[in-house]
Structure 1
Amino acid sequence: MGCSASKTYRGGNSLRIVMVGLDGSGKTTLMYRLVTGEVTEATPTLGFNVETITYKDNEFTIWDMGGQENIRRLWRHYFLRIRGILFVIDSADNDRIDEAQELLDELLQHNELLGTPIVVVANKQDLDGAMKEKDIVELLELKHISGRLCTIQGTSAITGAGIHKALDNILRFRHHMESSRG
């Protein structure tokens, strides 16, 4: 679907994005699904993974940040020149949605990320009992986010559903920001 791993890039549109969220939300599986087009077995990320892909004539450098609590304090070191945030949640984990909401609030307080567009990636939509997007919008209080473009995208790293739409949202936000600058 127009997405490939890239070693050299000759296009003109380069985007550096971070993929963050609680541990176990599926960030690494999502990233490698984008890179390979297949499901790969992922182990907990103890630091970060970084991959570059080309999608719709845009180069995305994706920083997949480990979500364990002791690693999260290091995230801020990777926020410089970020053009978008993919905030990944496990939409089938009702027990940790409050923790995800607190983490999102903390993330939005970082000065380096002021105004940076965010796509909440509601992963694991293929699982029974997964929360619907409208419920996640309410639980994460997304309607109260101001000063940045924000949306939600349901995905499944296993089936591949919605993953490219998350990247499309980053591109749409980028276009909107460039258009509004004049």
Structure 2
Amino acid sequence: MYHLARSLYANFTRKEEYAVLILGLDNAGKTTLLERLKTEYSNTKGLAPDKIAPTVGQNVAHITKNGVMLKIWDLGGQEALRTLWESYYTEAHAVVFVVDSTDRTRIEQCRDALDKIVSSESIEGTPILMLANKQDQEDRLEVEDIKEIFNKIAEKMSARDSRVLPISALDGTGVEDATEWLVSRLVRNKQQRPPKLR
């Protein structure tokens, strides 16, 4: 009887959890974004920006926003590590692609990386949120300029939820709007990519 009661209790208290990948080239601000999300939406205090080192491999955090649980994977963006991204696609419920708005020399490389993600069948139908990071810097590209550069990829994403938003992961500007958009799309896409129960 005890085991039956325990099993029923466990079944009723299980919660839905969505897996979100944070991808982008190295130094785009992916880990800074993850640490900002931890500070804003979890009981864990994120690292101070001066303590953040480049990600070699992955960082993981759990946050809750509007009652929706997210497991966020921040994957390293160095060229050698990008080949590993695809192994996470089948588990992902959404992709957050972070662009360094100040890195004009690698913007084409950044576009190519996003194109490769969008072209993968494993990620088809998954919402994609592109964040134009470092909008607090004077030498940044404006969001409209970034949209223009990534325009051809947008044509491939026409059937899925996608958005480009300006943020500064460093000071938190735009992070709330980005998280709101992401959570609403995860819930809306629940039938196509059901959440994990934990």
The verdict on how the C-alpha distance between 1:11 and 1:131 changes in structure 2, with shifts beyond 3 A counting, is farther
Contact 1:48/1:66 (CA < 8 Å) preserved in 2?
A: yes
TM-score of the aligned structures, taking structure 2 as reference length: 0.80
**What runs of 5+ residues in structure 1 fail to find an aligned partner?**
1-9
2:165 is the alignment partner of 1:153: yes
Question: Offset at 1:123?
Answer: 0.6
Match of 2:97 among 84, 87, 101: 87
Say if 2:125 is the partner of 1:115. yes
Is this contact kept in 2: 1:13–1:57, CA < 8 A? no
- Aligned residue in 2 for 1:132: 142
Name the SS of the counterpart of 1:70 in structure 2.
coil
Instruction: Tell me the SS of whatever aligns to 1:74.
Output: helix
Q: Percent identity?
A: 33
* 2:108 aligned with 1:98: yes
TM-score, length of structure 1 as denominator length: 0.87
Q: CA deviation at 1:11?
A: 7.7
What is the CA deviation profile of residues 33-82 of structure 1, one whole-angstrom value per residue up to 9, with x for unaligned ones? 11124643211111010110111111110000000000000111111231
- Which protein has the bigger helix share? 2
Query: How well do the aligned residues superpose, as a CA RMSD in angstroms?
Result: 2.0
Bigger relative contact order, structure 1 or 2, given CA contacts below 8 A and separation 6+? 2
Gaps of 5+ in 2: 1-12, 41-45, 193-198
CA contact (8 A) 1:11 1:58 kept: no
Aligned residues of 2:135 and 2:167 also touching (Cα < 8 A):
yes
Query: Could you tell me which residue of structure 2 aligns to residue 6 of structure 1?
Result: none
The answer on whether the counterparts of 1:25 and 1:88 sit within 8 Å (CA) in structure 2 is yes
Task: Return the alpha-carbon distance in structure 2 between the equivalents of residues 153 and 15 of structure 1.
Answer: 21
- Rounded Cα–Cα distance in structure 2 between residues aligned with 1:11 and 1:26: 33
State the Cα distance separating 1:143 from its structure 2 match. Answer: 3.7
SS of 2:108's partner is helix
* CA deviation string 1:67-109 (max 9, x = no partner): 0000000111111231111000101111111111101101111
1:78 and 1:179 map into 2 onto residues whose CA distance is 20
Partner residue of 1:77? Answer: 87
Kindly indicate whether the alpha-carbon contact (under 8 Å) linking 1:11 and 1:57 is maintained by their aligned counterparts in 2: no
Confirm whether residue 47 of structure 1 aligns to residue 57 of structure 2.
yes
**Separation of aligned partners in 1, 2:154 and 2:89:** 24
SS in 1 for 2:27: coil
Measured after TM superposition, the shift of residue 172 of structure 1 is 2.3
How many pairs does the alignment contain? 172
Q: Report the Cα offset of residue 165 of structure 1.
A: 1.5
Q: Distance in 1 between matches of 2:121 and 2:92?
A: 12
CA 11–158 in structure 1, closer or farther in 2 if over 3 Å, else same: farther
